[in-house]
Amino acid sequence: MGGTSYSLGQTLLKIENVCLEYDGRPVLSNVSAEVRDIIVPGRVQGQVVGVLGPSGCGKTSLFRIIAGLTAPTSGRVSVNGFDRPVRAGEVGVVSQSYPLFDHRTVLGNLMLAAKQKEKDSQAAHDKVMGLLREFELEDKFSLYPAQLSGGQRQRCAIIQQILCSEHFLLMDEPFSGLDLLMLEKTCELIAKVADMDDLNTIVVVTHDVTAACSVADHLWLMGRGSDGSGNKLPGSSIVKEYNLIERDLCWQPGIITTERFTTFVREVKDEFRRL
């Protein structure tokens, strides 16, 4: 066990034997995993899971199934302990394009999202403005999406999904195309969102191994497994899981500059290359 004292609480997200086929071709095969509430005495601690895998391994398909946007051929994903498959809208989705309505202001976009959960207009407005303050966007409420920087659009898209889905957030390739400064800010943003509530769960789907290791407490490595003879099995699954808490590689300032962290990233990259 690592240096941080923690325990695991209720299961927040559960993937049970998920299989997916397209035209008879296996894409996902018996994918199973779960995210449990991480409890750290004395502080609010959310969950961040990085889903890694090479292009074409089924990351996007699993992403859509977790979001309730695609039904698996068999198996299911459930959230919040519900004994039923996840429904569209229960898990927030932040795509690479950060879609916002161009003809509405930042406030107008976010009020649409807030009113899906909050019927009282004043209460919805107060919630939106509170989140804009939290994400340092309070002075941007009257601007239109085209007037925002890429980082500001990303924050608005995240607020939008927090308002809609509360505790669950799926992020699709959030590090793609970012320079080093923006990558660092995005990692800080993901950690901040996770730690706004103990039950907050962020699932980051990416091929950027270093960034995923920098922000996650657990990693799921996706790929096609092998049989005893070394032949690849049909369909992808989660072939390896990493617990960064047990390795004492998360929640510590400066940990990403250490040799231990560099060695771990190298280990994950080596496994990644073998897929």
Asked if pLDDT for residue 109 goes beyond 80, the answer is yes
Other C-beta atoms lying within 10 Å of the C-beta of residue 233 = 15
The token pair at 225 is 């497994």
Give the whole-angstrom CA distance, residue 116 versus residue 87.
15
pTM: 0.89
36: which residues sit within 8 A by CB, 6+ positions away? 8, 9, 10, 11, 12, 47
For 26-60, b where at least 16 C-beta lie within 10 A, e where not — what string?
Answer: bbbbbbebebbbbeeeeeebbbbbbbbbeeebbbb
Per-residue pLDDT of 242-274, as tens digits, reads 999 999 999 988 999 999 999 999 999 999 888
Give the whole-angstrom CA distance, residue 248 versus residue 92.
29
**How many Cα atoms sit within 13 Å of 212 on the Cβ side?**
29
Instruction: Say if residues 193 and 46 touch (Cβ distance below 8 Å).
Output: yes
pLDDT averaged over every residue in the chain: 91
Among the listed residues 65, 35, 62, 77, the one whose alpha carbon sits nearest the alpha carbon of residue 198: 35
Fold of 7-273: Rossmann fold (3.40.50)
Asked if pLDDT for residue 1 goes beyond 60, the answer is no
Per-residue pLDDT of 137-171, as tens digits, reads 999 999 999 999 888 888 898 899 888 887 899 99
Per-residue pLDDT of 206-238, as tens digits, reads 989 999 999 999 999 999 877 777 778 789 999
The token pair at 38 is 């991480």
Give the whole-angstrom CA distance, residue 214 versus residue 225.
26
Among the listed residues 50, 59, 46, the one whose alpha carbon sits nearest the alpha carbon of residue 20: 59
**How far is residue 20 CA from its own chain's centroid?**
21
